[in-house]
A and B are shown apart, each in its own frame.
Chain A
Amino acid sequence: MPTLPTSMVPLLNPILARLMAGVLALLVIGTIVGVVLARRATSETAKATVANLNARIRAWWVMVVVFAIAVATGGVGSIILFAAMSFLALREFMTLTPTSRADHGVLFWAFFIFAPIQYVLVWMQWYGLFAILIPVYAFVTIPGRMALAGDTTRFLERAATVQWALLACVYCVSYAPALLMLVVPDYAGGRTGLLFYLVLIAQLNDVLQYTFGKLIGKRPIAPTVSPNKTWEGFIGGTVVTVAIGTALWWATPFTPLVAAVMSLVITIMGFAGGLTMSAIKRDRGVKDYGTLIEGHGGVLDRVDSLLFAAPVYFHLIRFFYVP
């Protein structure tokens, strides 16, 4: 395991400090706007929308503090945070999708063997095994174990469900803390800087697409999947997010042009991830356990924009920036 450079200590890292200050400023502005809107709202629907907005802003405060602590503790904190999110996301995902009584053993493996090992590999910075544990070893053992269990009803569907759950909730999510493995020469932001940039752009994109959608959204992109995702929201959110992402090029190892491309990749992947998870929810939502998630507030809803963005972002940086 390589020794950590001093730039891993993010509290001493001016780039992270400035990004953090920017996020806090945004949250303060958001909170003030929320208060003003709450005073001005008159109609019932407006009140409900503003209440929802303020609930989201409050949730953001909590999430930002948790994320800041995780990043400030360097590698380990982020790894624990994302491991916990993977676990909760996997739990929500598997609750939502039907499995058979015979799958109990396989589910146990997914939760207590593959998911923990994946994060131990991130912590060990063992890239070689990290990259193949789930696509190779989980992929072959899950159907093998299921076949041994003997239940052949909807076999492919059940095996694919567990494989997909592990890929999405564990493998993809683990790419975010895996960014700590990447050492980009002459980049002052340290490895947590890459992670911070990814999470910031992906979540900003979520917020902006939601905001533009609420303000000017008319034409839904995929009405059968998610009526809230509109062309206006998508384009407005993407344009502003890419503008902010480009303006933050100094916090990344990228040139302004590359920063623009990277932000665009993150926003498009974020949108695709969110839409895909919505499709799964829509499909399962009408079935028995759809309501089970509601009271719990989904972790999966929060990380869905990272699912596709994290691995692509990781491999782009690894390919182009890591010698």
Chain B
Amino acid sequence: MIERALARLARVIAGASVRFTVPLEPPERQRAYFGNHTSHLDFILIWSALPAEARVRTRPVAGADYWMRGRVRRYLATRVFHAVLIDRGGHGALTGHAREESSSRHVRDDTVVPSQVRDDARGAMRTIEAISRAMGDGTSIIVFPEGTRSPDGTLLPFRSGLYHLCQLKPELELVPVYLDNMTRILPKGEVLPVPLLSRVTFGAPLRMEMGEAKRAFNDRMRDALLALREQ
């Protein structure tokens, strides 16, 4: 109930029109939806744009530092979106959805990505393993490979989380999702959204290729996302 109402509300606020360049078939398949990140509404928007069968199986991967602050956010993150929360700050335990707490409690680095500030590669790998476990065999995730919100809407360089996740799950379908205009609706640093129109474009699913290097993989994913902007 709440989920459906929120999904609708998010789409109304963001005036979102949704396009699928190819249909998501079958909708319940396990995937990683990866998008460009400019606003706090981004994952809610992608989540709400998914067909219902896909949506119930999809969990966003989000920063615990933001989503565990305050009761409402925590409620939304854990009870409504069942987010896989990642502790990016390095202090405090990572807290996910109640079911996942035991498996992800010990993880302590940036989400999909080894933090560039602290080069803690092992912590990053543990994060990826935790996400992989949270996904199990059927759960899809929403990730933002830039690792942070872009201040002006340009696509930042991808960090390597998606790559490492695919090393653990080579069969995972990767769906690029381009969000248009969200940076004007709720830019980084603002609290109140301005209700302009936005657009969500789902691209064709991709996969990691055999023996693909990290650099090539990231470039390919980034290009696929950018290509959706041009359409």
Contact = CB atoms under 8 A, between A and B. Distances in A.
A220 B196 CA distance: 33
A101 B182 CA distance: 12
Which of B183, B184, B190 neighbours the largest number of chain A CB atoms within 10 Å of its CB?
B184
A296 B17 contact: yes
Nearest to A98: B184
Given A108-B192, A111-B194, A95 B181 contact: yes
B190 A295 contact: no
B27 to A, nearest CB: 21
A117 B180 CA distance: 30
Contacts, number: 45
A95 B197 contact: yes
> Interface size for chain B: under 10, 10 to 19, 20 to 34, or 35 or more residues?
10 to 19
A251 B162 CA distance: 68
Nearest to A107: B194
B92 interface: no
A289 B181 contact: yes
Contacts of B194: 94, 104, 107-108, 111
Given A99-B184, A289-B181, A104 B190 contact: yes
B178 to A, nearest CB: 12
A95 B15 contact: yes
Interface in A82-103: 87, 91-92, 94-95, 99, 101
> Interface size for chain A: under 10, 10 to 19, 20 to 34, or 35 or more residues?
10 to 19
A58 B194 CA distance: 32
A91 B13 CA distance: 11
B196 to A, nearest CB: 5
A104 B191 CA distance: 10
B199 A292 contact: yes
B13 to A, nearest CB: 11
Given A94-B196, A111-B194, A293-B197, 13 more contacts: A95-B196, A99-B184, A101-B151, A101-B183, A101-B187, A104-B190, A107-B194, A108-B194, A289-B180, A289-B181, A292-B199, A295-B19, A296-B15
Interface of B: 15, 17, 19, 151-152, 180-181, 183-184, 187, 190, 192, 194-199
